[in-house]
């Protein structure tokens, strides 16, 4: 039965026109992290719990980035097979994350409104929300291999429709590997570069060995760098409401995944600068997986949370893991 369901979903996703398909996703709680119980400090954050997500449908996975798409904890992931995976984070009365509900999967479209034809064009890696008049209007997605950036309008809490491509510098367009454009994030109103889009590469390095990046904005635009660290590379970024920048880093050491989360002060995010972040959280081994996605959001109880998720690369031996943390209140 599960095999037939998975086959049916796969055929629907390959057939055009694009349409959303409902998925069943189960969630198992994660209640310890680095030996720490729920609501206890871990490094410079507070652990709020997490989930391991599973689905009988093999098109669920490869979750590379995540962002807010509507009220009531509506979110969407992008997968590196060119799909939007949309749903709603569910919380209990104690503001504890307990599930991902109302999940749908929908293939991404090109600018002509047809499903992306080849895997070379489908490898979505970074995403953030475009806000208009205080509401989520679209998502901005970065792709590697066929390197580009495109917006997709949000409808009823789900991104869909034809891509609207955003102009990027030629040096980025010329990158044609799976280690090119990895992170996309948009500066909030409180940022000195409000409204600008920050693009960061995974392993495209400048002459000093730093990760190359670009700011896309009206007034704040041009090259920017991110300091290279041993073992890890940037895999996602998101701004905090005050304009400070969070950067998620991922690597492999001794056959185990490594993860760092760093905070870059808002005044460092400017054209021509090499950004350096303070370490907020680090982990490796069985505590984590291939951590690639990062989101900042506010729960119904009013607490700002940092959500970090993994990309299981569609491997049975990896997990779709999401972890939540809070910043300590000063």
Contact 152, 141 (CB under 8 A): yes
Contact 233, 203 (CB under 8 A): yes
pLDDT of residue 17: 55
pTM flag (> 0.85):
yes
Q: Which long-range contacts (CB under 8 A, 24 or more apart) does 9-15 make?
A: 9/57, 9/59, 9/105, 10/58, 10/59, 13/59, 13/83, 13/105, 13/106, 13/107, 13/115, 14/107, 14/115
Q: What are phi and psi of 3, to 5 degrees?
A: -65, -45
pLDDT of residue 254: 83
Q: Give tens-digit pLDDT for 14-47.
A: 445 568 899 999 999 999 999 999 999 999 999 9
User: Other CB atoms closer than 10 Å to residue 126's CB: what's the count?
Assistant: 30
Cβ partners under 8 Å of residue 300, min gap 6: 72, 73, 91, 95
* Residue 271: CA count within 13 A, CB half-sphere: 12
Domain 2-6+36-326 has CATH 2.115.10: yes
Distance of CA 315 to the CA centre of its chain: 19
pLDDT of residue 71: 94
DSSP one-letter code for 121: H
End-to-end CA distance of the chain: 52
pLDDT of residue 70: 96
CA–CA distance from 172 to each of 62, 110, 126, 186 (Å)? 23, 19, 14, 18
Cβ partners under 8 Å of residue 230, min gap 6: none
Contact 261, 307 (CB under 8 A): no
- Break the chain into its structural domains and give their ranges: 2-6+36-326
CA–CA distance from 128 to each of 159, 248, 294, 307 (Å)? 11, 14, 10, 14
pLDDT of residue 179: 76
User: And the tokens for 88?
Assistant: 């709603």
Query: What is the spatial distance between Cα 53 and Cα 85, in angstroms, rounded to a whole number?
Result: 13
Distance of CA 210 to the CA centre of its chain: 22
pLDDT of residue 7: 44
Low-confidence residues in the chain, pLDDT < 50:
1-8, 10-12, 14-15
pLDDT of residue 176: 86
Q: Give tens-digit pLDDT for 128-145.
A: 999 999 999 999 999 999
Closest by CA position to 5, among listed 54, 81, 60, 56:
56
pLDDT of residue 4: 45
Closest by CA position to 187, among listed 145, 227, 148, 215:
215
């Amino acid at each position: 039965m599960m095999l037939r369901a998975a086959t049916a979903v796969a055929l629907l996703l390959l057939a055009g026109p694009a349409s959303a398909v409902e998925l069943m996703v189960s969630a198992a709680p994660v209640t310890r992290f680095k030996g720490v119980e729920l609501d206890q400090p871990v490094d410079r954050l507070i652990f709020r719990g997490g989930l391991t997500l599973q689905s009988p449908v093999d098109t669920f996975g490869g979750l590379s980035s995540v962002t807010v798409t509507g009220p009531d904890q509506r979110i969407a992931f992008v997968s590196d097979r060119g799909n939007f995976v949309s749903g709603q984070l569910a919380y209990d009365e104690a503001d504890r994350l307990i599930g991902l509900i109302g999940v749908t999967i929908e293939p991404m479209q090109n600018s002509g409104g047809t499903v992306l034809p080849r895997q070379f064009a489908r490898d979505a890696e970074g995403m953030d929300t475009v806000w208009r008049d205080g509401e989520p209007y679209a998502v901005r997605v970065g792709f590697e291999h066929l390197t580009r950036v495109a917006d997709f309008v949000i409808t009823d809490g789900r991104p869909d429709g034809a891509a609207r491509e955003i102009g990027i510098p030629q040096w980025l367009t010329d990158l044609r590997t799976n280690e090119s454009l990895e992170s996309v994030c948009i500066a909030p109103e409180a940022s000195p570069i409000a409204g600008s889009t920050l693009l960061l590469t995974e392993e495209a390095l400048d002459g000093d060995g730093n990760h190359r990046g670009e700011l896309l904005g009206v007034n704040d635009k041009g090259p920017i760098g991110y300091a290279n660290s041993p073992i890890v590379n940037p895999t996602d970024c998101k701004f905090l409401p005050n304009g400070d920048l969070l950067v998620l880093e991922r690597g492999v050491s001794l056959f185990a995944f490594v993860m760092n989360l760093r905070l870059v002060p808002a005044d460092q995010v400017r054209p021509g600068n090499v950004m350096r972040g303070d370490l907020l959280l680090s982990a490796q081994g069985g505590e984590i997986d291939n951590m690639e996605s990062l989101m900042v959001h506010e729960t119904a109880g009013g607490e700002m949370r940092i959500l970090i998720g993994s990309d299981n690369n569609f491997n049975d031996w990896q997990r779709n893991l999401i972890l939540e943390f809070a910043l300590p209140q000063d």
